[in-house]
Each structure stands twice: as C-alpha cells, then as structure tokens.
A and B are shown apart, each in its own frame.
Chain A
C-alpha cells in the first residue's frame, strides 16, 4: 500500500497559481457585476 512520494515540483506551482488565481479573479468579476 505504500506509494512513492513525489517531491513538490514546478507543476505544483502551476496548479497553485491556477487554482488560487481562478478563485481570486472572481473579485474582478464582482466589480464587473457592480457596473451592470
């Protein structure tokens, strides 16, 4: 059952940026909604 643990890598950084930025971009979306 023991698996091989991969070391954190650049792909992690890409996913962290993608996930966090795509949630935070909703703040900009809120600004757009405010202008309707």
Chain B
C-alpha cells in the first residue's frame, strides 16, 4: 500500500462526503415536492408530462397502488426493450448492421436492464446498434434508477408521520426524480467526461492499420452519455465489453475519480435525505455513518489484499512492489482498482475498471460479500436506503429482545408483521443466490460454463448468482454466461432480487406508515448514536456472515489457504 494510493482513496471519500450533504437536502426537496432552483425551467415540463399521461400528481397512493403502478410500468418496459433488442436490425442508428439478439439473450438483457442489474452476457460493441444502446439500454438506466429512488421515497415517507394511508404518487415521484435529479446530474457528468476524453459520436467504427500491417476495427459511439447514467444510476452496463477498463469509457485517473464519485454520491445523499424527510437529520447521519464505516472497512481489506499481491508469483521472480496487477489497468494500479471494485459492489452498480476474476482470493471475496450483504453500504440508488432501513428495523428488534421492550424505530412500533415482512425480503437473497448456484453446480450445463476448476470455479458461479440476485451486474468473468441455464436462470434471479425484495419492503412501509408516531420517552432506544451505529453494522455483518460464510469458505477462503500452501487455480 502506498501513500499516493491512500491519498487517492481519501480524496474520493472527501469529495463524496462534501457533496452528499447539499445533494441530500436537494433530493429531500425534490421528493417533498418543494419549489427548487430548476423549477422555473422544469416545472412546465413536469406539468406537461403529467397532463399528457392524465396523472394527478397530488393524488396519493396506498402502498398497494404504488407497488402495482411500479410493477406494471416495469412489465411494459420489459416488453418494449425485448422488442427493441430483437428487432434492432430494422430500427435506426445501426451503422454496423447488427442483427437482432437471440430470443434468450434478449430476455436476459431486457430483464437485466429493467431491474437495474445490467448483467451483460453479450459483447456490446459486436452485438448492439447505437439505437439499441441509446434508446434501449440508456433509457432503462434512467427508468430503473428512478424506480429505485421512488420506492425509497415511499419508504422514507412511511417513517415521517403517523397514521398515513398514502405513500405518495409513483408517477409524480418517477417524473420528478428523473427531471430534477438524474437528468441534470447526468448532463453535468457527461460534459465533464467528454471534456476529459470520453467519445460521444454516431460515427461508424473506424478501421485502423496496425504497425504490423494488420487491420483493426475500433468501436465508436455515444459513450459519454451512457457512461454518466451508468454510474449515477448505479446501473453498470458498459458501452464496451471491457466496461470502465476500456480506454474510451474511462481514459485516465481523473475520469476514474468522476466515475467513482458518481457511483456513490446519490446513495449516500439519499441517507441524508432520509434525515430531512423524517424531520430528524441525526437519523440520516446515523445511517450515513453506518454505510461509511462498513464501506471504509471493505476498502481497507480489498486494497490490503491486492497490494499484498500473490506470493506464488513473487516466488517466480515477479516484482511485488505494485501488488497484484493481473487483470488491472496500469493507469489505475492496485489502489484505484480495489477502490472501484469495492464501490461498484457496495452499490448495485456493477461497472468494473479491473477484472474481479483476477483479484487475489481475499480481494475477490470482499466484493462478492458486499453484494451478498444486499448492497446496502451505501447500496444502489434507492435500493440501498430501503435495504438498510430493513436492517435498521431488524437491529431495533434485536435490541428490543435484549432489553425486553417492544422495539420502536423513529416513533413507530416494530411488531410481528413488520419483522415477518423484513425477513421475507432479506431471505430472498440466500434463497436465490445459494439455491441458484447450487442448482447450476449440479448440472452439466452449469459446470460446463466454468473456465476454472476447484474453489475458484465455485467462486465464479457463486459470484454470478450473487451479482444477478443483487442486481449488481458485474461478472467475476471466467464463466460463459450465454447458455440456456444461465440466461433464463439469472434472468429470474434478477427479477427476484429486485421485485421480490422491493414488494415486501413496500408492504412494510405501508404497515409502518399507518401506525401512530409515538413521542420519544426515557425508555426509547436512541437510533442516532454510536451504540445504534455499532448495533446496525453488527446485525448486517452477522446476518450476512450466517447466510454466506459456509459458501464463501468453500470458494475464496479455500482458495486463499490453497494459495498459501502453493496451489493455484
């Protein structure tokens, strides 16, 4: 580990912390329907969309109505995207003349982008037209991100007042989040990326002649625009197959700083927006600090593992001073690669600037475990906040059990129904991840997809199911994902990880909203202090450990000990 490496990491964290506070206040204003600086420009657009869609934004929805609108919209968009991917040959902006995707790959891809996963079982530059990338994928990057923030908005409002029957209007939330948060931020980041060297054009691919006399086709395209929402919406779907390791997507350490900032700033800001919306900023700061604490621990662990390198390679005479550089870009080195890997899996982003499959066993374990924890430190846009609030309810429930009092969170009693719904959401993750990985590993199709044997092969399959269920989308690589089993299986896992988690959480919000808000008393467990932060972090780690440690022991942990005894996979 180097001083420069730590300075790069500290700079990013400082910039995120600095921007998250004003952004959190701004997002709270957006979700509360306040008049904002951009209202004179965007207000007429917002009202125009509502009028066009016949929506009365002032009309509130109960949790069932909110969830139904969300589901129906996403089902319609699945159909739309599937059609676009299959029929791209007949659609405009296809200078390379790409044929439509195969049906099973179109199913997997449509499910992937509707659920904010952005798992890519295809190579974009040899499969997708500019039209499909811009109007198919990029549009759904905005939509899925706005859907996640809208669900989080409904959950936040549930804690704000007592006796609420309505959680807001889904259509109004979706419109305001897109217009006032995602679009302006994406425009600013796009311009910054273009200025820093990321291409944005509709030119056909360029044919270059190499020094050796060969011919090379260099892919072009509207990269910067997709790149910005890819990070800001914690989507992760790369314009190119190598994602943010590609020099056009992420040309230098400054663009890397912009991209890593974009990945985490909205999730952290949402934690602070929560404090504003519930009328107690200390509550938002407690969630923010819990997320930050676990994130910093993960960065420490991953950077230490990658900087330590691989002792087997050192024995062969490889200079260990730069750490484990396999699968990493020289322009980023180990610190920025480890940082990116942690941030992209601590959120539901899934973009990569290095190949996670090439990380050391422990360096790869940390990103995988972060996904399996539910991506809540700070998590995906919206999904991270409502995910950690589920754990906050479980934390106060555990505290209540210990002292023998009915647990409360923000003046709302947490009773049997809420705990059941919280567990229903949380248990979806091990069911899909462990069940899916186990199913794949006992079939010839599943094991035939693996490029590596032993514990590393197990890690590859476990990571694929974790990534799909966690709506992350990054790949451990070393796995051929375009098979019938994985296209369909992972497609269903994405759906479960998104909606089978979100629906119980919205039901939980509906139940919490209807409860009266009790005033704090001498016996109320304070949920803004260090004790609560420690308890919440402990519950997250213990629950995650109990669920996934056995599988991780057989994968990356076994691989680490095998490496120490001289065996590699």
Main secondary structure of the interface of B (DSSP, over half): helix
Whether B3 is near chain A, meaning CB under 8 Å from some CB there, is no
The interface residues of chain A lying within 8 Å CB-to-CB of B499 are 23, 26, 29
Inter-chain CB contacts under 8 Å: number: 95
Interface of A is mostly: helix
Query: Which B residues are CB-close (under 8 A) to A9?
Result: 103
Q: Are A36 and B421 in contact (CB under 8 A)?
A: yes
Report the minimum CB–CB distance from B224 to chain A (whole Å): 23
Q: Taking the complex as formed, is B331 at the interface, i.e. its CB lies under 8 A from any CB of chain A?
A: no
Q: Which residues of A contact B79 (CB under 8 A)?
A: 16, 19-20
- Contact present for B107 and A30 (CB under 8 Å): no
Q: Could you tell me the distance between the alpha carbons of A29 and B72 in the complex, rounded to whole angstroms?
A: 13
Query: Is the Cβ of A33 less than 8 Å from the Cβ of B507?
Result: yes
Q: Known: A19-B78, A23-B78. Is A33-B424 also a contact (CB below 8 A)? A: yes
The answer to whether B111 touches A19, judged by C-beta atoms less than 8 angstroms apart, is yes
B492: which A residues are within 8 A, CB to CB? 22
Contact with B along A1-36 (1 / 0, CB 8 A): 111111011011011101110111011011101101
Which residues of the other chain, B, contact A31 by a CB distance below 8 angstroms? 64
User: With A11-B103, A12-B86 in contact, is A30–B421 under 8 Å at CB?
Assistant: no
The residue of chain B having its C-beta at the shortest distance from the C-beta of A5 within the complex is B89
Residues on the A chain within 8 Å of B89, using CB:
3, 5
A31 to B510, CA, bound (A): 13
Q: How far is the CA of A7 from the CA of B258 in the complex (A)?
A: 43
Asked if residues B500 and A26 are in contact (CB atoms below 8 Å), the reply is yes
Query: Residues of B contacting A1 with CB < 8 Å?
Result: 96-98, 126, 205, 217
Residues of B within 8 A of A4 (CB): 99
CA gap between A24 and B510 in the complex, in Å: 20
Q: Which of B72, B74, B103, B421 contacts A15 (CB 8 A)?
A: B103
Q: How distant is the Cα of A3 from the Cα of B499 in the complex, in angstroms? A: 35
Q: Which residues of chain B have C-beta atoms less than 8 A from A20's C-beta? A: 75, 78-79
Residue among B102, B103, B126 facing the most chain A CB atoms (10 A cut-off): B103
Do B71 and A33 touch across chains, with their CB atoms under 8 A apart? no
Among candidates A2, A6, A36, residue contacting B97 with C-beta atoms closer than 8 Å: A2
- Residue of A15, A18, A24, A34 near B507 (CB, 8 A) is A34
Smallest beta-carbon distance A21→chain B, Å: 9
Bound-state CA distance A24–B417 (Å) is 24
Interface hits, B52-107 → A, CB 8 Å: 64, 67-68, 71-72, 74-75, 78-79, 82, 86-87, 89-90, 96-100, 102-104, 106-107
Residue B110 CB within 8 A of the other chain:
yes
B386-404 contacts to A, CB under 8 A, are: none
How far apart are the CA atoms of A20 and B110 in the complex, in Å?
11
The residues in B between 514 and 552 inclusive whose CB is less than 8 angstroms from any CB of A are none
Which listed residue (B102, B110, B417, B507) contacts A30, Cβ 8 A?
Answer: B507
Are the CB atoms of A3 and B99 closer together than 8 Å?
Answer: yes
* Residues of B close to A22: CB separation below 8 A: 492, 495
Q: Is B349's CB within 8 Å of the partner chain A?
A: no
Contacts of B75 in A (CB 8 A): 19-20, 23-24
Residue of A whose beta carbon sits closest to that of B115: A23
CB pair B71–A24 under 8 Å, yes or no, is yes
Q: Determine how close the nearest CB of chain B comes to the CB of A30; give it in whole angstroms.
A: 5
**Which chain A residues lie closer than 8 Å to B506 at the CB level?**
30
Interface centre among B72, B111, B491, B503 (most CB of A within 10 A): B503
Contact: B71 with A19, CB < 8 Å? no
A6 to B126: give the CA distance in the assembly, Å.
17
Q: Which residues in A have their C-beta under 8 angstroms from that of B495? A: 22-23
Q: Chain B contacts of A15 at CB under 8 A? A: 82, 103-104, 106-107
Q: B420 at the A/B interface (Cβ < 8 Å)? A: yes
Docked complex Cα distance between A36 and B79 (Å): 31
> For residue B102, which residues in chain A have a CB less than 8 angstroms away from its CB?
6
Closest to A20 in B: B75
B473 surroundings in chain A (CB, below 8 A): none
Interchain CA distance A3-B480 in the complex, whole Å = 21
**B335 sits at the interface (CB 8 A):** no
In the bound assembly, the distance between CA atoms of A14 and B507 in angstroms comes to: 31
Contact A24 B424 (CB under 8 A): no
A30 to B539 CA separation, bound complex (whole angstroms):
27
* Residue on B nearest A15 in the bound complex, by CB: B107
Q: Check: B504 CB closer than 8 A to any chain A CB.
A: yes
Q: Using A19-B79, A24-B71 as known contacts, say yes or no to A33 and B104 having CB atoms under 8 A apart.
A: no
A4-B510 Cα distance, complex, nearest whole Å:
50
Question: Does A36 lie within 8 Å of B420, measured CB to CB?
Answer: yes
Give the complex CA separation of A24 and B99 in angstroms: 29
Q: How far is the CA of A2 from the CA of B89 in the complex (A)?
A: 9
- A residues apposed to B, CB below 8 Å: 1-6, 8-9, 11-12, 14-16, 18-20, 22-24, 26-27, 29-31, 33-34, 36
Sort A-B residue pairs by CB-CB distance and give the 8 closest, nearest first.
A3-B99, A33-B507, A5-B89, A23-B75, A2-B97, A15-B107, A5-B99, A11-B103
Beyond A5-B90, A19-B79, A26-B71, 6 additional contacts (C-beta under 8 Å) are: A3-B97, A14-B103, A15-B82, A16-B82, A22-B492, A30-B67
What are 23 A-B contacts with C-beta separation under 8 Å?
A: A1-B126, A3-B98, A3-B99, A4-B99, A8-B86, A9-B103, A11-B103, A15-B104, A18-B107, A19-B78, A19-B79, A22-B492, A23-B75, A23-B114, A26-B503, A27-B67, A29-B499, A29-B503, A30-B64, A33-B503, A33-B504, A34-B507, A36-B417
